[in-house]
Amino acid sequence: MTIETGILGVLISLILAVLAGGVWLGRLAERVRNNKDDILDSKQIVKEFQVENKKEHRDMITRLDKILRNGYDSE
């Protein structure tokens, strides 16, 4: 009788663990769905920052090119 009780206890524990895991995954999926807009916004901000960086680098290269061609005083 103790073996059957032990097996029953293990089965109940496994079932509860699976249910708890399902609830946890459901909550995680809901949080991801709710934060999708924030994730997209942050990706857009990164893209804009990269574009600004590229423009600054282009401007800096243009200035350095001018300085190298004409000298520092001509800037």
Q: Give, to the nearest 10 degrees, the angle between helix 2-34 and helix 36-70.
A: 50
CA distances from 40 to 19, 30, 49, 58 (A): 32, 16, 14, 27
What is the reported pLDDT for 1? 58
Q: Per-residue pLDDT tens for 29-55?
A: 887 777 766 666 767 777 777 777 777
Dist CA 48 CA 45 (whole Å): 5
- Tell the residue number behind the tokens 């509860």, with chain if given: 16
Q: Per-residue pLDDT tens for 13-35?
A: 888 888 888 888 888 888 777 77
Would you kindly state where each structural domain of the chain is located, as residue ranges?
1-34, 36-75
Region 1-17: mean pLDDT is 84
Dist CA 43 CA 53 (whole Å): 15
